[in-house]
Structures are given as structure tokens and as C-alpha cells.
Chains A and B, each alone.
Chain A
Amino acid sequence: MIRKELVAASAEPLILSLLAKGESYGYAIIQEVKARSGGKLNWTDGMLYPVLHRMEHRGLIKSRWAESESGRKRKYYSLKKDGKTAMAKHHEQWSLVHSVLASLKKEQYV
């Protein structure tokens, strides 16, 4: 299992990156994150919504209520312009952390 702090820190970049593919809703976001992490990134489902609402208040994402094909009412979230900029920044920062970690790991095996 991944540590709680890392799960919390990765929530925003993951949501932004998922929404960059197209609009989505809470349940689908959680399912996709679980599937992509092989179940290792486990969010408490209810905690996703305060994160989504905070991101919406900050103008990173927007939402709209709509009915799904099955007739269920859902709140769909999509990326805003500021969200795209924030996502690019997150990618840059996480890539930097990843490259530092990778280079340090490589040195250990030399």
C-alpha cells in the first residue's frame, strides 16, 4: 500500500490528468485510478469529493449535472484552462522528483 501522504499529494495531479482525457464523474475517476494502480492507490471514496470541490473553487475544473445513458443523474467534471496549466506544472515537478530518484537508484547499482 502507498503511504497516506503520498496518496493525498498525488490526488490533484491524477485527477487533472484523468480529466485531460475527457469529462468524468466521481465514481469513474476512483475506478480508473484503482485499475491503473493495480489497486495499490486506494482512496477513501468519500474523500474524493472535497478534493474535486476544492479544485472547482480554485477554477481548475468545472462541473455540470447530466443524465447518463442508463438514466442515472451524475455530476460530470471537466478540465478548465487553468487546470491544464496546473497539470503541466504537476507533470514537470513529478517528473523532476522521478528523475532524481531514478538517477540516485542507478548510482547505487554502479
Chain B
Amino acid sequence: MFDLEQSIAEWRQQMLDAGIKAPVPLEELEIHLREEIEMQMKSGLSEREIFNSAVQKIGQARVIQTEFKKVEADHKMRRTILLITGWLAAGVTLLYGTLYFSFGWDFISFHPKWDLETSTALFIILLAETGIWFLAKVSRDRTSHIVSLLVCVLLAWFALFHCLPAEQRHMTFVSSNTSGGAIVGEALTDAFNSEPPSPIWFRGGLTLLLCVPCIFWVWRARLQMNQRRNSMRESQPIHSG
């Protein structure tokens, strides 16, 4: 005796075995199959014939899964490109905001100027930090992980120079002049040296702002690692005794 529900359950299993994910898109495909079966019920054919015809119309599980894989790969690539662009943009914005913020203060008498420039710089920094927090939350693939780490390390490296007084910064840049970034180093040294020295708490604050992306990155990496460990533990078979 043909059991329609049993046959649908077996078809579902075939789809799952081929790699089609549940609930979506498997549920969508099952609804389609049931609609087709219902539609053919008036045709006078037997349940078995109707089921076989509907399954044939849906198509082979492996062929459908190949198409879904293509869609997924396409989606992943777009997402990675967007994430990389986001990380680079957020990193540059934060760096720019920090530089701009330090230039917007009156360092000689150290009476902070709360003008439009300073407020804009602060807003840019907060915007970049929020963006980085969001990006760290949604970056899951390896490529965006590597790029984000690189951005965070570069920001932290730059932050160290915020900590150092101008003379020490100059020394560090001169000693690293043999490296590839000599021209950039000189430009930054000039920019810093044109400024009078600022108090350590202010430089420390800016350093912390530039290190925040690193903290976000490590926090998300730890969370994702724990999630992976938990899912691996859950997928392991339970041995009795």
C-alpha cells in the first residue's frame, strides 16, 4: 500500500542527503511538492503516479543543490568584498578622525576648543568605532578575518606613536627609515613634530581609541571560537556508559 506521507518523508531525506539545507530552502521545496500533488489529485491518477510525477517535476536533488551552492558562493563573495571595503573604510575613517581630533585642540594653553571641527572629529571617531563593532560582529569568513586583523594591527601600531612624545616618535621613525614605509614615516613625523607636546592622558586616550578595534576583534574571535567549540561538542555522538 502506497503511503504518501512516508514517500514525502523519504524524498525530504534524499534532499537533505544531497546537501539541501533545512528549513530553508527544503521547506519551500516541500510546499511546492505538496501543491503539485494537490493540484494533480483531480487528474484521476493513483497517488503513487501523482507523487512520482511531482518529484520528477521538482528535479534531481543534486542538480538543485549545485545551483544553490552557486548562489551561496556568489552571495559569500559579495559579502566578503563588502566587508573588506567596510573594514578599510572604517579603519581610514578612524585614523583620519583621530588625527583631526588631535589637531583641533589648543595644545599650548591646553584649553580645549569645542568648536565644530572638534565635534565633527569626535563624531567621525564614534561613527568609525560603531562601524568597526558592527563589522567585527558580522565578519565570519577567513578573508575578512585576515583583512580586519591587518586593519586592527595597523591601527594599534599607529596608536603606539600617539603614546610617544614627539621627540621619541621622531627617533623611532628615523631608525625605521630603512623600511619600505620611509616616505609615509617622514610625512607623519613632520605632522607630529609640527605639534607642541600634549599631555600623556590625552595621548593615552587617543591610543585607547585606536586600540578599541583590536579589542572588538579579539572579543568576536573568542566568541566565534567558543561557538564553534560548542557546536563541535553538540555534533559528537553521545556514548553511554
Q: Do A and B come together as binding partners?
A: yes
Q: Which residues of B contact A47 (CB under 8 A)?
A: 59, 63-64, 67
A89: interface (CB < 8 Å) = no
Given A26-B32, A57-B74, A57-B78, residue A50 in contact with residue B57 (CB < 8 A): no
Complex Cα–Cα for A26 and B74 (A): 22
Our count of residue pairs bridging A and B at CB distance below 8 angstroms stands at: 58
Number of interface residues of B (CB under 8 A): 22
Q: Which residues of B contact A26 (CB under 8 A)?
A: 28, 31-32
Rounded to whole Å, the gap between the CB of B55 and the closest CB of chain A is 10
B35: interface (CB < 8 Å) = yes
Contact among A46, A54, A73 with B29 in the assembled complex (CB-CB below 8 Å): A46
* A residues whose Cβ falls under 8 Å from a Cβ of B: 26-27, 44-47, 49-51, 53-54, 57, 72-75
Complex Cα–Cα for A46 and B65 (A): 10
Rounded to whole Å, the gap between the CB of A90 and the closest CB of chain B is 19
Interface string of B54-81 (1 = CB under 8 A from A): 0001110001100110110011001000
Rounded to whole Å, the gap between the CB of B241 and the closest CB of chain A is 43
The residue among A45, A57, A72 with the most chain B CB atoms within 10 A of its own CB is: A45
Interface string of B23-45 (1 = CB under 8 A from A): 01101110110111000000000
Q: Is B59 within 8 A of A45, CB to CB?
A: yes
Q: Is A45 within 8 A of B32, CB to CB?
A: yes
